[in-house]
Structure 1
Amino acid sequence: MNAAAFAANLAATLGVVLAVLLAAFAVGVRTGRHRGVDVAWGLAFAAVALTGYPLSAGHGDAARRALATALVAVWGIRLAGHLWSRARGAPEDPRYARMLARVPPERRTRYALRTVYLLQAALVWFVSLPVQLAQYLPQRLGPLAAVAVVLWLVGIGFEAVGDSQLARFKADPANRGRVMDRGLWRYTRHPNYFGDACVWWALFLLVADQPIGWAVLPAPLLMTWLLAFGSGRPLLERKLAADKPEWAAYAARTSSFLPRPPRRRPVPTDRPRNDP
């Protein structure tokens, strides 16, 4: 691998990520709502892949470059489109509203820039290291690439199907205030987060067939931690627990992350027994 070319790519993608997130920041300041940063999250990943693809021409294997770029671009653009449709015309995301409420109004703009936009820019750049490395590996793809594609399909399938099921559920006025526990949501409380993790482990597999690929293992580990234990699941579940009376029962029977059949409800100890 050409180390100098890869280093130049890292610098270029960092600049692109900053440009996307700073543009989102400008929109957030103008509208007074910062939930658009979630749209920029997916777009920034796609921008990284689409920037690295032409820069890596002549350095990386053509098939590996094309596959890594396509997988990230499709995932990022789909996610951005879905989140944009949800955010259009909606009020501020409660997560960002609570975060910004911690500081005085005169400091909120700088606080949002630092803790929301610049932090997410750093995360995008770091988590995207597997796709950036994949574009510069000169070795031809091996059998592990097929496993990566299958895992990516599982991941984006969970995300897209889960998002669609939830959107239909919320569109029915009869479900107002209720907990979504159908379809994929019957097997995991967060099919979209699980699918997201699968996508990034699939991208890691695109470089795991080479020793240098293991240097970027922290990227999918960090993304999985953020989804399952960091800013993803825990923050969302605290809000759901406060807003939805059915949440406790749903959480007791449904896996928090990895899909599995719902737990059976425990039999009360004072239930009459049918002794012979």
Structure 2
Amino acid sequence: MQSFLILLVLALLASSCGFRKYVWFISLGYGAAIALVCIGLLVIFGGSLTVGTALQCVLLVVYGCRLAGYLLYRDMKTAYNRRMKGEVKSDEGVSVVAKVGIWVSASLLYVLQTSPVLFRLADGKGTDVLCVVGLVISATGLVLETTADLQKNRAKKANPKRFVDTGLFRLVRCPNYFGEMVFWTGVFVSGLSVYANAVQWICAILGYLGIIYVMFGGARRLEIRQDKNYGDDPEYRRYKSTTPIMIPFVPLYSVKEHTWLVA
């Protein structure tokens, strides 16, 4: 419990950047919180790390730093900010109470997401088959997510006014979100041999389902934005109707009407 609270404090510190810019609670602050939480794990359990658990922590630090760095770079680009003006909710009208609520709930989610690694380290379980399997799945997700971001940047530089349907985007319309889900699936799977009681199961499941919900909410926002920008383009309509939105080969083509996806 003490370790959990320490990690929550670290997540709160890292994501507090959202008080400067509201959306940073769930973007820049998200990546920074994951990285800082896992640096905390390395420090707290430094004397009992195995190869597998050390790699888990390092992979999560790399994941968080990559995400935070990419989002910060993107946020600093004048062209991106101009394109997203009016599309992203501003700080106007968001009360301090609402900001604190988002800050605390988001930080708690970030700790829950990483809880499978915490439970493994706290229970001294070391490296087992599921730890290795989870590492492979998470590494695959990180590669997918990074590749998708690079391909989108390259495509937008070549043709800023066109939607992206090249590379991984041929298989799924949100490959970066898909990669994110794969990454956290690996983290959850890695703990299947560790969860020792109902509390640990609940924490791990809430963290996993929470990030899946956030990803589908992000896909819904993206679909609404793309429909607004490209809805009159026959090529976009054809692309949308034939390419799954989130998971390759799963015929789910739209989440726009699912208003419960409000993340």
Common fold: TM-score over 0.5: yes
Interval of TM-score (by shorter of Structure 1 and Structure 2)? 0.7 to 0.9
Percent identity over paired residues: 23
Task: Tell me the TM-score normalized by structure 2.
Answer: 0.81
55, 59, 62: which is aligned to 2:50? Answer: 62
Q: 1:244 to 1:112 in 2, by over 3 A?
A: farther
Mapping 1:144-163, distance limit 5 Å: 144-163=130-149
What does the per-residue CA deviation read over 1:160-185, in whole Å, with 9 as the maximum and x for residues that have no partner? Answer: 1100000001112xx23311011000
Matched, 1:248 2:237: yes
Q: Give 1 or 2 for the bigger CA radius of gyration.
A: 1
RMSD (Å), alpha carbons: 2.5
1:271 aligned partner: none
1:196 Cα deviation after fit: 0.5
Q: 2 CA distance for matches of 1:249 and 1:116? A: 37
Matched, 1:11 2:5: yes
2:71 aligned partner: 83
3-state SS of 1:217 partner: helix
Q: Which runs of 5+ in 2 are unaligned?
A: 253-263
Equivalenced residues, count: 240
32, 52, 58: which is aligned to 2:41? Answer: 52
Alignment-mate amino acid for residue 142 of structure 2: I
1:262 Cα deviation after fit: 9.3
Q: Which runs of 5+ in 1 are unaligned?
A: 1-6, 29-33, 264-276
What does the per-residue CA deviation read over 1:18-60, in whole Å, with 9 as the maximum and x for residues that have no partner? Answer: 11122x03433xxxxx3444112101001111112221245x5
Q: 2 CA distance for matches of 1:87 and 1:111? A: 25
Q: 1:262 to 1:214 in 2, by over 3 A?
A: closer
Mapping 1:1-276, distance limit 5 Å: 7-22=1-16, 24-28=17-21, 34-37=22-25, 38-58=27-47, 60-90=48-78, 91=81, 94=86, 96-97=88-89, 100=91, 103=93, 108-110=94-96, 113-114=99-100, 116-172=102-158, 175-212=159-196, 214-215=201-202, 216-228=204-216, 230=217, 232-245=218-231, 246=233, 247-260=236-249
Q: 1:180 to 1:53 in 2, by over 3 A?
A: same
